[in-house]
């Protein structure tokens, strides 16, 4: 198989870190692996802890890549909200194409043990929800100022946990809570 990352090398059979089957590019060092091989290995070795390496450089191909098995476009999946890194996944065969250093990057991010989860709808939905939450927090922080935003978050948490929260909200929202006229 030709490497879709560098388009020069060949993907030769190997084992990723000697653990599970993969194909490694003999030119750029990228890796092609099937999620089913990763999951099968993980099920046989549930106690395995992936060890982070000292120094590495992770590439991240920005262009669309072609699945080396089917010739179809691969999908890019976001890894986390703290990173712009995206993984290339072929849903038709369940294959992942890792650029050179991406496996080490996943280990650094403590995601190597969750590789198969990154491609699930739940993982991606969670990232979108976290991103929306961070966006709203930024908007509120800008609108209220840091000190006021932190204070209102404390008040909100206290109010939501209070057993008489409905009465407290009514008091806060009343134009004049001491008047008999509404």
Q: Quick one: pLDDT at residue 56?
A: 62
Residue 62 in this model has a pLDDT that exceeds 80: no
Q: Quick one: pLDDT at residue 55?
A: 59
Percent of the chain with pLDDT over 90: 73
HEC states along the chain?
CECCCCCCCEEEEEEECCCEEEEEECCCCCEEEEHHHHHHHHHHCCCCCCCCCCCCCCCCCCCCCECCCCCCECEEEECCCCCCCEEEEECCCCEEEECCCHHHHHHHCCCHHHHHHHCCHHHHHHHHHHHHHHHHHHHHHHHHCHHHHHHHHHHHHHHHHCCCHHHHHHHHHCCCCCCCCC
Instruction: Please give the average per-residue pLDDT across 170-179, as a whole number.
Output: 90
């Amino acid at each position: 198989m030709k490497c879709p990352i560098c388009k020069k090398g060949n993907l030769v059979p190997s084992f990723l870190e000697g653990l599970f089957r993969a194909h490694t590019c003999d030119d750029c060092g990228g890796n092609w692996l099937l999620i089913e091989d990763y999951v099968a290995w993980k099920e046989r070795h549930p106690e395995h802890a992936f060890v982070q390496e000292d120094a590495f450089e992770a590439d991240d191909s920005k262009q669309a890549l072609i699945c080396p098995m089917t010739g179809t476009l691969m999908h890019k999946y976001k890894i986390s909200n703290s990173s712009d890194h995206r993984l290339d996944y072929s849903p038709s065969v369940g294959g992942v194409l890792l650029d050179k250093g991406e496996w080490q990057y996943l280990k650094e991010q403590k995601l190597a043990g969750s590789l198969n989860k990154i491609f699930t709808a739940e993982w991606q939905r969670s990232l979108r929800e976290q991103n929306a939450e961070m966006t709203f927090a930024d908007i509120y922080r800008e609108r209220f100022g840091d000190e006021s935003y932190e204070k209102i978050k404390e008040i909100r948490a206290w109010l939501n946990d209070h057993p008489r929260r409905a009465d407290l909200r009514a008091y806060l929202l009343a134009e004049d809570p001491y008047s008999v006229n509404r």
